[in-house]
Amino acid sequence: MLEARLSQGSLLKKIVEAIKDLVQDANFDCNDNGISLQAMDSAHVALCSLLLRSDGFEPYRCDRNLSLGINLNSLSKMLKCSGNDDVITLKAEDEGDKLTMLCESTAQDRLSEYELKLMDIDSEHLGIPDQEFDCTVKMSSSEFARIVRDLASINESVTISATKEGVRFQAAGEMGKGSILLKPNGSVDSNAGQGTSIRLSEPVMVSLSLKYLNNFTKAAPLSETVTLNITNDVPVLIEFAVGEIGYIRYFLAPKINEEE
Amino acid sequence: MLEARLSQGSLLKKIVEAIKDLVQDANFDCNDNGISLQAMDSAHVALCSLLLRSDGFEPYRCDRNLSLGINLNSLSKMLKCSGNDDVITLKAEDEGDKLTMLCESTAQDRLSEYELKLMDIDSEHLGIPDQEFDCTVKMSSSEFARIVRDLASINESVTISATKEGVRFQAAGEMGKGSILLKPNGSVDSNAGQGTSIRLSEPVMVSLSLKYLNNFTKAAPLSETVTLNITNDVPVLIEFAVGEIGYIRYFLAPKINEEE
DNA sequence: CTTGTTCGAC
DNA sequence: GTCGAACAAG
């Protein structure tokens, strides 16, 4: 059986909000290492990968590998029934067909329990290569969200180009064009909340769908910063940390007709 | 060429929001004195006149008179891409077909540049007489907005009448009627932010469309105060100051069937 | 096109 | 904290 107690239940709420617009149904794979999820969006364009390490839960117990098929919309509705300060415990029997969610309000005068029916979901296993990228940009997640939203009013795609001088976001459409340049002012490895940092071995330039990027920025409430990992002509990896306990990663293939 | 740097970019955002619901496309006329715009609404009922004096910009440069045809909806979208604290610089070449907007975020680690395609717009030149009015009411712009919004739920038009005793806004409709009386407590010439002041040579009474007045009050964020300039049977002039650098004026013809 | 939700303003 | 407006989803 699975039993995983998360003291910061709001993390779970934010995670589901960050995924549910991209993926309808997905398997939460639970094992000794933690809980993970991989899924593609319905158009099979973007890929989303979630990891919550076991040591982020206290306690965490998972005797046997479980694959919990969950409708994310239902889970989202259920999580809306929990308070932001609640401690949430997830439980599932080995052969059960339901996920149990226990919410303890921190004031401890309230204990709620919800059950979600599980589904059978075909999980094409997605081999996600663990690759190196030519360029890694670390920046404020809210600023990234702002840029993506702004440029979406100009065109459907954005060209992101990075050199050691900075990272530039450009879009051009019917009514005109827009270009935002962020200059680096920190190290990728530092935890400085503000500012932009760039590490690169090669200058890169990719063109990406703003609709998908906008979807990805639903994860911005999870983390102050986001990292953009870019190599020309391969899918970009956009990662948001989930507190100290894991991450959400999005992969998106660049558009073929890049602006040059 | 034109180059005009406005340290308070938010003014430009508010100006465009104050005009765009009334006018789709308009020419921004740039010359040595500054930037101005005159346009009628699509129904040719109301007239809007904007002036931004050159000394409100630093620097301001305009070698040659330019008429920049702009779709205000597009301009609004572009301006939404700028931060409220940004410094905005407008640039246009003498023979160019685009307006360039440069946004410097005050933190200065972010520089964005937007280009807006210009249009050819027939500008019927609008002779706006520089007239004296029988009555000038100066009042809080937010209070004016509130009154206009409230009365709009009662009827389509409002009767404004002013004597030296005060200014009265009245509407009567199916469900009942409303009347708001503001008593003067200051001088029109003083800069007292609060309160209402009236200067008149003749008592006046006009009936005006609340739909249009509601449109005009989009300019309220620009200025604490508004002046209503009224003479019976001629278009009223409603003026909002744009910071220290200019104004937006709206002209609206009174309805013929005044309530008596 | 309508509704619900979220964000920002007062 | 309440309200309204803009935005996104069905």
* pLDDT tens per residue across span B48-78: 999 999 999 999 999 999 999 999 989 998 9
Are B135 and B198 in contact, with CB atoms under 8 Å apart?
A: yes
Average pLDDT of A78-93? 89
CA distances from A75 to A1, A12, A43, A79, B41 (A): 19, 10, 22, 6, 50
Q: How far apart are CA B222 and CA B226, in angstroms?
A: 10
Domain locations in chain A? 2-117, 135-252
Q: How far is the CA of A138 from the C1' of D10 (A)?
A: 35
A151 touches chain B (CB under 8 A): yes
Q: How far is the CA of B80 from the C1' of D5 (A)?
A: 15
Smallest CA-to-CA distance from B78 within B51, B40, B117, B48 is with B117
Q: Any idea which nucleotide's C1' is nearest the CA of A73?
A: D9
Smallest CA-to-CA distance from A239 within A26, A18, A21 is with A18
pLDDT of residue A257: 66
Average pLDDT, chain A: 90
Residue B211 has pLDDT above 70, yes or no: yes
Residue A113 CA, chain-centre distance (Å), reads 27
CA distances from A109 to A13, A83, A91, A173, B52 (A): 21, 13, 21, 56, 61
- Residue B110: list chain A partners with CB under 8 A: 143, 180-183
Each residue's pLDDT tens digit, B24-37: 899 999 999 999 99
Residue B106 has pLDDT above 80, yes or no: no
pLDDT of residue B258: 47
pLDDT of residue B194: 67
pLDDT of residue B31: 96
Residue B143 has pLDDT above 60, yes or no: yes
Average pLDDT of A156-180? 92
CA distance, residue A209 to nearest chain B CA (Å): 18
- Whether B80 sits inside 8 A of A150 (CB atoms) is yes
Preferred mutation among B110, B116, B118 to probe A, highest tally of A CBs within 10 A? B110
Smallest CA-to-CA distance from A159 within A85, A256, A224 is with A256
Q: How far is the CA of B109 from the C1' of C10 (A)?
A: 31
pLDDT of residue A86: 87
B106 touches chain A (CB under 8 A): no
Residue A183 has pLDDT above 70, yes or no: yes
- Whether B114 sits inside 8 A of A174 (CB atoms) is no
pLDDT of residue A192: 55
pLDDT of residue B58: 93
Report DSSP state, residue A49. Answer: E
Each residue's pLDDT tens digit, A92-116: 999 999 999 999 887 767 888 999 9
Q: Would you give the end-to-end CA distance of chain A in angstroms?
A: 54
| Residue A260 confidence class, pLDDT cut points 50, 70, 90 | very low
Q: How far apart are CA B111 and CA A111, in angstroms?
A: 50
Q: Any idea which nucleotide's C1' is nearest the CA of A214?
A: D8
The answer to whether some atom of strand C lies closer than 7 Å to the beta carbon of B218 is no
CA dihedral A62, A63, A69, A70 (to 10 degrees): -30
Q: What is the pTM of this model?
A: 0.91
- CATH code reported for the domain at B2-117: 3.70.10.10
Average pLDDT, chain B: 90
* Pairing verdict, β B236-242 and B225-230: antiparallel
The owner of tokens 């002036």 is B51
Q: How far apart are CA A105 and CA A85, in angstroms?
A: 7
- Between A151, A176, A179, which is nearest B98 by CB? A176
Task: Please tell me if the domain spanning A2-117 has the same topology as the one spanning A135-252.
Answer: yes
Helix (H, G, I), strand (E, B), or coil: what is residue A9?
helix
Q: How far is the CA of B165 from the C1' of C7 (A)?
A: 43
CA dihedral B64, B65, B71, B73 (to 10 degrees): 80
Each residue's pLDDT tens digit, A12-46: 989 998 998 888 889 999 999 999 999 998 888 89
Are B168 and B203 in contact, with CB atoms under 8 Å apart?
A: no
- Tokens encoding A72: 């994310």
Q: How far apart are CA B230 and CA B198, in angstroms?
A: 11
Q: How far is the CA of B213 from the C1' of D4 (A)?
A: 18
User: What kind and span of H or E run contains A184?
Assistant: none
- Residue B114: list chain A partners with CB under 8 A: 176-179
A182 touches chain B (CB under 8 A): yes
| Residue B163 confidence class, pLDDT cut points 50, 70, 90 | very high
| Residue A185 confidence class, pLDDT cut points 50, 70, 90 | confident
CA distance, residue B106 to nearest chain A CA (Å): 13
Average pLDDT of A207-236? 92
- Tokens encoding A54: 């076991």
- Tokens encoding A113: 């329990």
- Residue B111: list chain A partners with CB under 8 A: 180-181, 183
pLDDT of residue B176: 86
Q: How far apart are CA A36 and CA A66, in angstroms?
A: 11
Q: Would you give the end-to-end CA distance of chain B in angstroms?
A: 54
Q: How far apart are CA B111 and CA A119, in angstroms?
A: 49
- Tokens encoding A234: 């391969």
User: What kind and span of H or E run contains A221?
Assistant: none
pLDDT of residue A47: 93
pLDDT of residue A193: 55
B116 touches chain A (CB under 8 A): yes
Q: How far apart are CA A47 and CA A215, in angstroms?
A: 12
- Residue B25: list chain A partners with CB under 8 A: none
> Strand D nucleotides below 7 A of a protein CB?
6-9
Q: How far apart are CA A227 and CA B72, in angstroms?
A: 36
- CATH code reported for the domain at B135-252: 3.70.10.10
Residue B40 has pLDDT above 80, yes or no: yes
Higher pLDDT, B250 or B105: B250
The owner of tokens 């933190």 is B107
CA distances from B107 to A93, A101, A151, A231 (A): 53, 44, 20, 29
Residue A58's CB: how many other CB atoms inside 10 A?
11
Residues in chain A, overall count: 260
B202 touches chain A (CB under 8 A): no
Mind spelling out the 3-state secondary structure of B64-88?
CCEEEEEEHHHHHHHHHCCCCCCEE
| Residue A258 confidence class, pLDDT cut points 50, 70, 90 | very low
* Pairing verdict, β B166-173 and A225-230: unpaired
Helix (H, G, I), strand (E, B), or coil: what is residue A142?
helix
Could you identify the residue whose CA is nearest to the C1' atom of nucleotide C9? B221
A171 touches chain B (CB under 8 A): no
Q: Any idea which nucleotide's C1' is nearest the CA of B77?
A: D6
